[in-house]
Every structure is written in structure tokens, then in C-alpha cells.
Amino acid sequence: MSFAVRSASPITEREELIAVLERNFEYDFPVRAHYKWRHEDNPAGPGWSWVIYDRQSGAIGAVTSLFPRPMYLDGKLAMVGQVAQFAVDHAYRSLGPAMMLQRATFEPVDSGTLAMCYDCPPHDHGMSTFVRLGLRPTCQVDRYVLMLRSDEIVEKTVGKNFWAKPLIAGANLLLKLQQRKRRIPGLEIHRLDGRFDEEFTHLDKIVPSSGIIRCSRSAELLNWRYRDSFDSNNEVLVAREGGELVAFLALNIYELHDQKRACISDLFGRKLNQTGLALIDAAIEMCHQRNIVCLEGHCSETSELMQLFEAFRFRPRELTARVVPYVKSGRQDASLCWPLAQAEVLA
């Protein structure tokens, strides 16, 4: 072969690695900002990168990285790695280089540095390397959607004529009336304007995690993800009972086709069968105030979020990620239940 795989330094070779990413990701994705956030700002520490390079010229044609993230494995906090920033130039897009890169991400697990690692391929093509390596997904994450406004649907059906406005107004009113308020006595919901503090770390520690795998939600990690992110357009709602924090919801607001949309990035805490209902209700109210057309959510089938989405009549849409874990031979962590939200699969 004229190419080989080697480890790379995310710091000293940052420009070379960013160049490969920029060549292979969509032009409107903030590659450089995402790279800095992931490699240099991660409170869990620096990660690992590997490249495929030409043996003669030394030119880099593919890259992938493994980022450390603290996760609870059957109630015990451990360091886990998530694969991300997998980019391959056209000349190297065959199964051989992809498998070489994928195998390289197993090294920190095999050496005992990490308890396990996992990847979240979104489609069948992304699964091809895992199939050849004998790995299978342990669960999948699906997208759910609740329509809040009918503007786009009505305009696609009848066009932008004088009939559209009254039809849109009537349909929007009907959508709003279908939402039943979920008020829980003694529960207060308010917006978090500042940063996450130690009460969130305390909540992360006391929420049960035996028998499952979930990411840590310490204050440090939450600030990094929702306050210091390259994409910081996030709103956070918190639920308190008797002044004590019991749950929170993180909402990412974005635009697509000139329409505002919102996505529940995270919903976590105690008594989610009640607090989750109240937080989603408050998120819907916020969306109506901002003329957001739809509210999205992502979860696996074993997540508590699925029942909450069904209670509000979120509609299941497409599969967004398959979760494929890798553990050192003899460990049973991958067989644990994975009740995942978008927070666990975002890379």
C-alpha cells in the first residue's frame, strides 16, 4: 500500500488536520471553531487523533479523532471516548483506509487508558467498517418532531397567495389548542440566564445510573457544552421544588430555510415523569413566543424521553444515529442499557 496510518498531534498539526476537515465537511459548518472547542477547550482533557498519509509525500488524506468524556457505567464514573471528526479525502474513500482509522481509535481502550469508546454513524454507509470489524450497534437514536406552526406546510400546499394567511392562522391556532398545559403543584420553572453551578454537579451525582450508560452532567461539562460552545445559541430551563434543583432542559435554537426551529439537546434530572412534562411544556411556550415552527427531540427507545415525547404527540421521524461501542475483551460494559438523549451522541 502507498499509504499508512499514524497518530497525529491535534496541537502541533492542527492546521494540517483542519485542512482535511474543511475539505470534507459542508462549507457552512464552523470547522475551525468546532476543532478548538473539542480539542483545546474540552474540560475532560485533550483527545487523540490519527491520520492516513501518503508514504512517499507524507501528505495527509484522512483524519479521525477520539474525544474523552466522563460517563457513568453502571453507576460508576469512568472516562470514555467518543469518535468524531472522521474525514476522508476522495482519493482514500475505500474500505481499507476507513478500517485502518477505525481500528486506531481502539488503541486507548486496549491500553486501558479508556474504559470504552463508541461511535455514532448516522447511516448504513457509516456502518460498513463496523460490519467488517464484527461490531454491531447496541442501540439507535431517532428524531422526534412536534409541529408548532403550519406556515411552511400550508405554503407548500396552497402557495404564497391571499388564501394562505387565514389558513395558516387557523392551523396555528389549532396546533396551539392541542397542547394541554402540564402544571405540577409545587414545581417552579424558570430560565437559567447565568452559568451552571455546583448544584448541577450535585444533581448529576444523585440521579440513579445503575444498570445504564449515560454521560456526566457536571457543572463544568454543562458550561462547556451549553455556555462556551462554538454554537452557543442555547436556552436552559430549570425545574425547582422547594427551591431545590430537580431537573433541567437545554434547548438549541437554529434556523433552517429561513424558519426558526428548536431542538431539545438535553433533558435530565429527577422525577422526569413529572418534571420532564413541565419542562417540555415550558419549552413549547417559549417556542410559541418566538414563532418557532417546530420542536425536535432525539432519544433511544429505552430512554425516559420517549414516553415524554409521546405524551406531547411528538411524531417519530428518521433514525439519526446508531451507537456502536468498543470495549476491551472481557468487559461487559457494552451490554448495559443505553437510554440516550442527544447529549450523548453530539460530537
| Residues 57-92 pLDDT 10s | 999 999 999 999 999 999 999 999 999 999 999 888
Q: Which residues, at least 6 apart from 190, have a Cβ–Cβ distance to it below 8 Å?
A: 237, 238, 240
Q: Which segment, 196-205, 256-265, 279-288, is predicted with the most confidence on average? A: 196-205
Q: Which of 129, 115, 131 is nearest to 52 (CA)?
A: 129
**What CATH class has 3-118?**
alpha beta
DSSP element (H, E) containing 92:
none
Query: 133-138: long-range contacts at Cβ-Cβ below 8 A with a sequence spacing of 24 or more?
Result: 133/99, 133/102, 133/103, 135/324, 135/325, 135/326, 136/324, 137/322, 137/323, 137/324, 138/323, 138/324, 138/325, 138/334, 138/335, 138/338
- Is 20:61 a contact under the CB 8 Å cutoff? yes
Distance CA 121, CA 126 (A): 5
Q: What pLDDT does residue 277 have?
A: 94
Q: Does the pLDDT value for residue 175 go beyond 70?
A: no
CA dihedral 336, 337, 342, 343 (to 10 degrees): -50
Q: What pLDDT does residue 46 have?
A: 87
Q: Is 30 helix (H, G, I), strand (E, B) or coil?
A: coil
The label of the residue with cell 440566564 reads 193
Per CATH, which fold does 142-345 belong to? Aminopeptidase (3.40.630)
- Overall pTM > 0.85: yes
- Is 246:182 a contact under the CB 8 Å cutoff? no
DSSP 270: S
- Is 297:144 a contact under the CB 8 Å cutoff? yes
- Among positive and negative, which fits the CA dihedral 212, 321, 202, 275? negative
pLDDT-wise least confident of 29-43, 95-109, 161-175, 324-338: 161-175
Within the chain, all domains assigned CATH 3.40.630.30 are found at: 3-118, 142-345
Q: What pLDDT does residue 170 have?
A: 52
Instruction: Tell me how many degrees the CA angle 223-230-287 measures, rounded to the nearest 5.
Output: 75
Higher per-residue confidence, 333 vs 148: 148
